[in-house]
Structure 1
Amino acid sequence: MPQAQATIRALPISDAGEIRALTAICGGKKAAYYDEKSNVLCIDGQFDVEGRLERMITGRSYRDDLVVVAKSPGGGLQTALDTTRYLERYHYTIIVDGLCASACAQFLFMGGTYKIVTGKGIVAMHGGPMSAAYIDKMSITPEGKANLRRENEEFREFYRTHGIDVAITTNAPQSVLDAMKKGAESGVRAIRREERSVRRCGHHATVSAVPRPRNAWAAATATARAHAIAPARRRRVDPASAGRAAPGLTPRSRASPCR
């Protein structure tokens, strides 16, 4: 499996106060809350497959250079992906100030023009799109398999159009692994064992801090200093194409599996 690349840098001390002020706006706010004065969108909750959180977020407009402060264990692949596509037209900066796992990390985090992880932030991946062979072996209806194939192709298309190596969803970038080994010195740490169980879609999912098993990894900042983590080759999304479904793909199935 190829190793995805990413750059990690500590943000200047001068930025710390502004980041604390932005995250403070979201203190105690659940689901989706928008502070119009600061142009800050607070997301704290699961992307349910029924689309309730998605509708709360996409049911209104925002200003350009939106700031998204996110805490989410993930949820439905399609609802998280559609939410990300919608928000990309506002060229948002994402600040992870808690757990951002599964579909939150795979789409909402990756869709941010700029990415910041605070001292309380955890970014956790547990795998990329399923292969056609794997889907074929699943004990589900033909319709369910067809829906999964469409959703997984949308997964791959999101990464292709953003110039991001999809390997980042299964193998932590070497820069992240190196930083984990250095611990507090680098400002990035592997999550502790007691942090590895997260709730998603009504079930518990184990998130490993290193690529063992090969389809899971997670990292957190080790200090109170915020860090910026950006996948390689991230490009600005054309506002005209943001939110548009991939050609030939049908609307999502609400019975989609969780990510």
Structure 2
Amino acid sequence: MKFLRPVFFIFLSCASSHCRAADVAESEMLHEAQKDFSSCRGLQGVNVVADGRVVCLRGKIDPAMFLSVAKLRGKIKNNPYVIVSGEGGYVDSAIYIVRMLDEYDPVPVAGDMCASACASFLFLMGRHRVLLHCADVVMHRGLWSIDDILTRKIADDVKQRLVADVWQIHDFYDERQVSLDMINKPPAEVQRKLDAGEVVFWPWSINKLRSFGVKGIVSENNPDEVVPHDYAETCLAHHG
């Protein structure tokens, strides 16, 4: 397994004091994110820890997770670090969680597997976001068209929910000025597997995420490198 080389910004030379201040701020965010990620290790579901400064969202994104966030929202302080981890779940639950937490100016932090709805929605909450060294943020399945949904042989209530999801996804990405190409246009080799009916998860480099319009990314990894899928588990084992 090849591990990515961390890239640290704090002591790089810079022509202006503003640039140096930004480097220091990024270093402080990384330090805080690493500490808060550790505080959520071993927890499942929704937990509010560190006196409301850290929200742990770990596991399946579903109505139970949304309702847990709703019940605990009074304990959350402003500008919390939100540890996002899991293999995805329901689109509507993910969007509702983001809309609720956006009121607190959250900083989502990925330090291990964050896939599907976790990557496509939870990781996009707030104005800034942190990718730690072992983060594995991966996309899964693009957006169905409404016409495709209507032709599927599924129950009408399921069709209605899927059509409503399409509208919500468009609104969500429009609000954040992020291109839907991030989830709709995977790399060519991934698209070939999808066309063949395979279930595929795929990552993007940090700079590619930025090209889609994802703002405020802070990371200790090379912004042009792409981590392999399933990177997180081996990386965490290696780095302790």
Both structures adopt the same fold (TM-score exceeding 0.5): yes
Distance 1:150 1:138 in 2: 15
Structure ID, larger Rg: 2
Deviation at 1:121, TM superposition (A): 1.0
Q: Is the 8 A contact 1:211 1:217 kept in 2?
A: no
Q: Which runs of 5+ in 1 are unaligned?
A: 1-8, 178-207, 237-259
Segments ≥4 residues shifted beyond 6 Å: none
Distance 2:164 2:139 in 1: 21
Counterpart of 2:139 in structure 1 is: 125
Structure-to-structure mapping, 1:72-151, within 5 angstroms: 72-151=86-165
Deviation at 1:94, TM superposition (A): 0.9
Distance 2:169 2:185 in 1: 16
Distance 1:135 1:33 in 2: 36
Deviation at 1:140, TM superposition (A): 1.3
Q: Whose helix proportion is higher, 1 or 2?
A: 2
Aligned counterpart for 1:54 among listed residues 56, 66, 72: 66
Over the residues paired in the alignment, what is the CA RMSD in angstroms? 3.1
Distance 1:230 1:86 in 2: 24
Q: Whose strand proportion is higher, 1 or 2?
A: 1
Counterpart of 1:31 in structure 2 is: 45
Q: Which has the higher contact order (CA 8 A, sep 6+)?
A: 1
Q: Partner amino acid for 2:9? A: P
Distance 1:123 1:41 in 2: 18
Q: Which runs of 5+ in 2 are unaligned?
A: 1-5, 11-26, 217-240
Is residue 45 of structure 1 aligned with residue 52 of structure 2?
A: no
Size of the alignment, in residue pairs? 188
Deviation at 1:102, TM superposition (A): 0.8
Q: 1:52 to 1:90 in 2, by over 3 A?
A: same
Structure-to-structure mapping, 1:1-259, within 5 angstroms: 10-12=7-9, 14-15=27-28, 16-37=30-51, 39-48=53-62, 51-59=63-71, 60-61=73-74, 62-171=76-185, 210-213=190-193, 217-219=201-203, 230=210, 232-233=212-213
| Percent of residue pairs bearing the same amino acid type | 21
Distance 1:72 1:231 in 2: 25
Distance 1:42 1:11 in 2: 26
